[in-house]
Structure 1
Amino acid sequence: MRQLQLFQVLRSLGFVFWLSLPLIGLIFWLGSGFVEDQILNRSYYNKKYLLADTRLARQMMKRIVAIEVEIRQEDGVSLVNVRTNHSVLKAIAFEFPITERSQLETALSQELGLPRYQVKELIRY
């Protein structure tokens, strides 16, 4: 009878709850260790590749409105601003370590994916 009263007193104080917390913590600790080992030992080799949509880039380059070039001979750098009429991308800025015009036109045509004659028409120095 005395043990039953002691058990009721312990139950009213919440000892059943407090004594179960370390057991719950131990279960979570061991479970998270198991999950961590499974995740860290997983192979990350993936056969799926990210394919970029290059059509959008080509369409954007066809919408070039103007190319403004500032050649800084003293710094040995050319600053290029490309303005487009694309709805998302209005301007692109480039910096080339080139000061000669023909080399700059060639580098721009390669970067923008346009023929050199078209770049030459759009350039303003």
Structure 2
Amino acid sequence: MPLLRWLEKLHLLNIKFLLPLPLILITFGFGGESLTNLLLKLSYHTKDKLHANTNTLRIQLVLNVLISEIKTEVFQAKNFTNVKIKTTNSTLKKLEFEVPVTELDSVKVEIAQELGLSPKFKLPSNITTQIKPKIKVLGILAEIQKKKGITRVEIRTANSILKSLEFEFSITELSQVKATINKELGITREDARMFVSYRIKK
């Protein structure tokens, strides 16, 4: 009888919807763990992107360039020199370095070695020079500029002093851009898929 009265009170309070609650909690308690384990075992397509963010791609470039301009900015307090180099007669247009010295002769020696040149090489040079930088690629951004008819490709590196390189190609068709990057940088399609991002600017 007390149970019947209690049920009548529940009915009067219009809270019948609470009756299935214990059954739901019991079901979730037994089935929740299995469901969680199943979800944790699933593989996700973000694996490759995470791999690209935590690793580097090693490449070596061989380029003939004419160094046309060198800008240096010395940070005495932080004991490093920022160097920006512009080139002509090549698809490679810019290089940026952060050299952990402030004495300019030492800076030039460090940069020459990073570019695969003799430490005695004089920077800047007014002749076409073959450079052979070894690069640890962190990421590559290809910005397709439709209006200008060019694609700028920036490579960010994990090198000790060479921080970035910028290429410029006179193409804007995405398939051609992809093929050119693979050819010029000597990378595979799989490498490109993991390390290259594209941005289209109209």
Structure 1 length as normaliser, TM-score?
0.49
Structure 2 length as normaliser, TM-score?
0.31
Which has the larger share of helix? 1
